[in-house]
Amino acid sequence: MEPHMHAEAYVDSIIELFRNFGVKRYCLIGSMFDMVPYTRPLLVTGNASNPELQNELALVNVRHSDYQGTTSILSLIGSRASQLGIETCSMIVHLPNYLTMEEDYRGEKRLMEVISFLYGFSLPKEDMEKAHEQEEQVQLIAEQMLKQDPRLGEILKQLETHYDAGVKQDQKETRLSPEVEKFLLDLDRRFRQESP
């Protein structure tokens, strides 16, 4: 839980850790409940402090976030990190708020897909199996909910329409195919590693 007192001291201590360990990038990774359709891939939104990293996020379908609400200590840490020249990014998976789980392995799987692309981590097999099982549970629960209250079907259609419109907008903004962008990013990484 975020501290309620001495927040500035808490943030200062985290920034001091960044300095001591020579942190190059700070990533805020999390989840939130949202009105999103369970029938579509889980939405991940986020931002990055530089265009290259933002492009990498776009390659794994992380939608640019236009959130303008309240901030938290974690946001303040990112702001302070940016002032030090540390790259920052955020990745927030949106979970259907009408299908809450104690542990949402589907959300974990979606975030791990993004993280594995960025950093080359492999997806834990056990958690991926749990995510698959949970997806089947979600389908059954949702079907029961729709039978109990058919009006939910109309709400689901509206959520799907809104989701699909966002996907179409993202596709319009994409200039190169994901394969070409990935190739160029890999080429840039190799060039930077080889240069003195």
**Domains, in order of start, for the chain:** 11-194 (3.40.50.10900)
Helix (H) or strand (E) holding 17: helix 7-21
Question: Cα separation of 136 and 2, whole Å?
Answer: 34
- Check: pTM over 0.85? Answer yes or no: no
Mean pLDDT of the chain: 86
Residue 88 binned pLDDT confidence (cut-offs 50, 70, 90): very high
Q: Which two tokens stand for residue 9?
A: 């001291």
